[in-house]
C-alpha cells in the first residue's frame, strides 16, 4: 500500500491510473495493469501469466518490455495480495475513468473481493460533471488535480454501495475477457471492445503520410507521438498509451514492406522509417 500505510477500519481506495493521491489520509492501492494490450487469458493463473510473458518477450522490442514482462507480474501479484488482505470491516472505493485499464481493473478487483460488500465505485467522469460541474469526460485519473480529487472523495462518501447485481455483472465481464485470447482492447461507446491487433495499422500509415514520411525518413518517435496524440480524438475512443505496442505494429509493417527502415536497432525508438511507394 502507498506509503506503507497500515490498514485500519478506514476506507481503502483503489486506483488503476497514475494519480496524485498522496494527500489522501486514507490508504490507497495502485495497480497500473495495462490491460489494453497483450494476452490476459487466464492471467490470474500461472498458465495465463506464462502466455502473456511469452507474447511480450516476443513482440515488444522497445525497452518497456522489461516492465510488461517482469515488473508487471510482481505488481500483479502484489496487487492481488493487497486486495485480498483488506480486512472485512473496511469500506472500499474503486476509482474508474473512461479507459480500458480502469474498467477491467475494476472488474478484476471485484473478482478478487468476491462476496465483500461496502464497495463504492467512483466514476470520475460522472463526478466531474455532478460534483465539479465540468462538462467533459475524464479519460485518466491523472487529469484531475489533487484538490479536485479530494472534493470528489469527500462527496462520494454519500454514494450508494455497489449492488450485488451490478457487482456480479462486472465480475462476469472479467470472466469473459479473461477467457478471451484477443490481444488488443479499446474503450469506445462506454464499454470495452476486443479488436484485431492490426486495428491501428491503417491509422499509422495515414499519419505517416501526414508527417511527410512518403518523401523522407522520420523517427519512429515522431510517428508514434503523432498517432498517440491524434487517435483518441479522431477515432473517438480511449486506447492504449503504450509506445511499445505501436512500435510493435510499425515493425510488423516494416516486415510487410509498407515501410523501409534505417538504424532499426537504435534504442528508444530512434530508428527512422519511410513509406514505400
- Of 118, 148, 177, the one marking the end of a domain is 177
Domain housing 261: 198-275
**Local structure of residue 214 (DSSP, 8 states):** T
Claim to verify: residue 207 and residue 160 sit in the same structural domain: no
Claim to verify: residue 145 and residue 48 sit in the same structural domain: yes
In terms of Cα–Cα distance, which of 258, 246, 242 is closest to 64? 242
Instruction: Tell me the three cell numbers of residue 20.
Output: 496524485
Instruction: Tell me the three cell numbers of residue 178.
Output: 479473461
**Taking residues 18-26, what's their average pLDDT?**
69
Claim to verify: residue 57 and residue 131 sit in the same structural domain: yes
Q: How far apart are CA 259 and CA 243, in angstroms?
A: 18
Instruction: Tell me the three cell numbers of residue 255.
Output: 516486415
In a domain, 252, yes or no: yes
Q: How far apart are CA 5 and CA 30, in angstroms?
A: 13
Claim to verify: residue 153 and residue 72 sit in the same structural domain: yes
In a domain, 190, yes or no: no
Q: Do β-strands 218-219 and 272-275 pair in parallel, antiparallel, or remain unpaired?
A: antiparallel
Q: How far is CA 96 from CA 9, 22, 25, 137, 255, in A?
A: 23, 18, 20, 12, 38
Does pLDDT of 218 surpass 80? Answer: yes
Q: Cell 511480450 identifies what position?
A: 56
Q: How far apart are CA 34 and CA 65, in angstroms?
A: 12
Task: Please state which of the ranges 109-113, 137-141, 154-158, 215-219 shows the lowest mean pLDDT.
Answer: 137-141
Claim to verify: residue 34 and residue 75 sit in the same structural domain: yes
Q: What is the pLDDT of residue 3?
A: 44
In a domain, 77, yes or no: yes
Q: What is the mean pLDDT of the chain?
A: 87
Query: Residue 204 is part of a domain; what is its CATH number?
Result: 1.10.10
Claim to verify: residue 46 and residue 111 sit in the same structural domain: yes
Claim to verify: residue 209 and residue 78 sit in the same structural domain: no
Q: What is the DSSP string of 182-210?
A: --EEEEETTEEEEE-TTTTHHHHHHHHHH
| pLDDT over 90 percentage in the chain | 58
In a domain, 187, yes or no: no
In a domain, 66, yes or no: yes
The structure's pTM equals: 0.87
Claim to verify: residue 171 and residue 208 sit in the same structural domain: no
Instruction: Tell me the three cell numbers of residue 173.
Output: 465481464
In a domain, 85, yes or no: yes
Measure the CA dihedral 203/31/80/50, to 10°.
40
Does pLDDT of 118 surpass 90? Answer: yes
Claim to verify: residue 132 and residue 226 sit in the same structural domain: no
- Of 142, 177, 212, the one marking the end of a domain is 177
In terms of Cα–Cα distance, which of 198, 199, 228 is closest to 211? 228
Claim to verify: residue 34 and residue 106 sit in the same structural domain: yes
Claim to verify: residue 23 and residue 154 sit in the same structural domain: yes
Higher pLDDT, 231 or 14: 14
Does pLDDT of 133 surpass 80? Answer: yes
Claim to verify: residue 122 and residue 204 sit in the same structural domain: no
Q: Cell 522490442 identifies what position?
A: 61
**Taking residues 181-200, what's their average pLDDT?**
92
Q: What is the pLDDT of residue 230?
A: 79
Q: What is the number of helices (H) and of strands (E) in the chain?
A: 10, 9
Number of folded domains that form the chain = 2
- Of 177, 206, 230, the one marking the end of a domain is 177
Amino acid at each position: 500500500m502507498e506509503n506503507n500505510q497500515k490498514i485500519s477500519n478506514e476506507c481503502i481506495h483503489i486506483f488503476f491510473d497514475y494519480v496524485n493521491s498522496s494527500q489522501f489520509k486514507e490508504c490507497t492501492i495502485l495497480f497500473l495493469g495495462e490491460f489494453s494490450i497483450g494476452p490476459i487469458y487466464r492471467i490470474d493463473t500461472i498458465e495465463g501469466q506464462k502466455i502473456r510473458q511469452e507474447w511480450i518477450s516476443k513482440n515488444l522490442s522497445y525497452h518497456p518490455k522489461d516492465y510488461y514482462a517482469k515488473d508487471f507480474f510482481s505488481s500483479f501479484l502484489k496487487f492481488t495480495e493487497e486486495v485480498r488482505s483488506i480486512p472485512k470491516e473496511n469500506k472500499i472505493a474503486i476509482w474508474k475513468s473512461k479507459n480500458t485499464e480502469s474498467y477491467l481493473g475494476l472488474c478484476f478487483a471485484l473478482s478478487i473481493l468476491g462476496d465483500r460488500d461496502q464497495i463504492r465505485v467512483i466514476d470520475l467522469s460522472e463526478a466531474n460533471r455532478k460534483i465539479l460541474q465540468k462538462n467533459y469526460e475524464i479519460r485518466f485519473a491523472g487529469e484531475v488535480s489533487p484538490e479536485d480529487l479530494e472534493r470528489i472523495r469527500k462527496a462520494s462518501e454519500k454514494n450508494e454501495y455497489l449492488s450485488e447485481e451490478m457487482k456480479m455483472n462486472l465480475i462476469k465481464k472479467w470472466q469473459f475477457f479473461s477467457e478471451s485470447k484477443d490481444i488488443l482492447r479499446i474503450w469506445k461507446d462506454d464499454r470495452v471492445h476486443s479488436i484485431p491487433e492490426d486495428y491501428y495499422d491503417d491509422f499509422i500509415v495515414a499519419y505517416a503520410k501526414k508527417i511527410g514520411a512518403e518523401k523522407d525518413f522520420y523517427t519512429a518517435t515522431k510517428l508514434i507521438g503523432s498517432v498517440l496524440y491524434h487517435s483518441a480524438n479522431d477515432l473517438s475512443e480511449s486506447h492504449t498509451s503504450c509506445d511499445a505496442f505501436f512500435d510493435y505494429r510499425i515493425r510488423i509493417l516494416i516486415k510487410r514492406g509498407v515501410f523501409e527502415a534505417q538504424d532499426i536497432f537504435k534504442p528508444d525508438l530512434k530508428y527512422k522509417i519511410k513509406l514505400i511507394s
